[in-house]
Amino acid sequence: MKRPIIAGNWKMNNNKAETKELISKIAPLVKDAKCEVVVCVPFTSIETARKAARGTNIQLGAQNVHWAEKGAFTGEISANMLAELKVKYVIVGHSERRQYFGETDETVNLRAKAALNAGMKVIICVGETLEERESGKTAEVVIRQTEKALKDITKQELKRVVIAYEPVWAIGTGKTATAQDADGTIKIIRKVIRKLYGRASGQSIRVQYGGSMNAGNAAELMAMPQIDGGLIGGASLKPEDFAKIVNCAS
Ligand code: PEP
């Protein structure tokens, strides 16, 4: 049985005090969750989050990672630096990174491999823009992004990979893909995995939906056969809403 995974992407929100407060509010609300619960916090809040989450079922995640071990990469953070802080999950290829910070399919792949090499798990984000969707390119885009992100990642390493299907037009906009649409696109992603790694991997890899998932629509999305969880932005900052989503996935 696959264990669903709900991950909060806090983006550039919550200083140390706010991090402590938010985790202390979320923890009792999700303590009986059957799914995995992850919070991906800003780098500067990782240490605080780790302490606040100690003894709870909340796992620690980061929002990005650099591929080099160390060196002249001003402003970047290496995989070993994150692993040392007990980070378990790293998001790579979030559309905001692709859109605003020049992230490419190639750098997404490098970042994913670096995180996996350091022993962490990755949440690889893929998804089409509105323009791509309207020109009928959704399948083409998610196939390309998935294939390129997974280049040279072994079948063994794939066990530590989660894919997040996040239509860009649905992120932070309040617009959600219909459950059927999201399910259909995730089916295409699974087909790519099946082609690259075999039937069993195509079935066993966990694929989340992300994009304005909230307390009101989570149950419908989570009920879809292809959806194994959610990557949650805005709603992950509201403890009750986040907990409701977690409980829908449980
Ligand atoms: C995200 O940041 O990955 C996300 C899905 O954001 P939101 O839930 O706010 O759309």
pLDDT single digits (tens) 21-43: 999 999 999 999 999 999 999 99
Is residue 213 pLDDT above 80, yes or no? yes
**Active-site annotation holds for 166:** yes
Cα of 190 to ligand 1 centre, how many Å?
22
Residue at token pair 């980061």: 62
Percent of the chain at pLDDT above 70? 100
Distance CA(184)–CA(60), nearest Å, equals 30
Instruction: Please report, for the domain that includes residue 195, its CATH number.
Output: 3.20.20.70
Residue 175 pLDDT grade (very low, low, confident, very high; cuts 50, 70, 90): confident
- Examine residue 164 and state whether it is found in any structural domain, yes or no: yes
Q: Domain range for residue 155?
A: 5-13+37-249
pLDDT at 232: 98
Question: In angstroms, what is the C-alpha Rg of the chain?
Answer: 17
Name the residue at shortest CA distance from atom 1 of ligand 1.
233
Residue 7's nearest CA partner among 196, 230, 159, 209 is 230
Q: Please state the atom number of ligand 1 nearest to the C-alpha of residue 213.
A: 8
Amino acid residing at 246: V
Distance CA(123)–CA(53), nearest Å, equals 20
**Active-site annotation holds for 66:** no
Residues 6+ apart with CB under 8 A from 219: 248
Q: Please state the atom number of ligand 1 nearest to the C-alpha of residue 232.
A: 8
Residue 174 pLDDT grade (very low, low, confident, very high; cuts 50, 70, 90): confident
Cβ neighbour number for residue 215 with a 10 Å cutoff = 17
Residue 136 pLDDT grade (very low, low, confident, very high; cuts 50, 70, 90): very high
Total of domains in the chain? 1
pLDDT at 237: 98
- Answer for the pair 42, 12: CB distance below 8 angstroms, yes or no: yes
- Examine residue 47 and state whether it is found in any structural domain, yes or no: yes
User: Considering only 53-57, 177-181, 236-240, which range has the smallest mean pLDDT?
Assistant: 177-181
- For residue 137, give both structure tokens: 């390119």
Cα of 72 to ligand 1 centre, how many Å?
31
- For residue 57, give both structure tokens: 């079922």
Cα of 168 to ligand 1 centre, how many Å?
9
pLDDT at 176: 85
DSSP 235: G
Residue 14 Cβ < 6 Å to ligand 1: no
Is residue 128 pLDDT above 80, yes or no? yes
CA distances from residue 129 to 13, 112, 165, 170, 176 in whole angstroms, order as listed:
24, 22, 12, 9, 13
User: Which one is catalytic: 94, 96, 103, 128?
Assistant: 94
- Answer for the pair 81, 46: CB distance below 8 angstroms, yes or no: no
Averaged pLDDT of the chain = 97
Residue at token pair 């969750």: 33
pLDDT at 68: 98
Residue 7 Cβ < 6 Å to ligand 1: no
DSSP 223: T
DSSP 85: T
The secondary element (H helix, E strand) that includes residue 161 is strand 161-165
Residue 210 Cβ < 6 Å to ligand 1: yes
Cα of 47 to ligand 1 centre, how many Å?
23
Residue 250 pLDDT grade (very low, low, confident, very high; cuts 50, 70, 90): confident
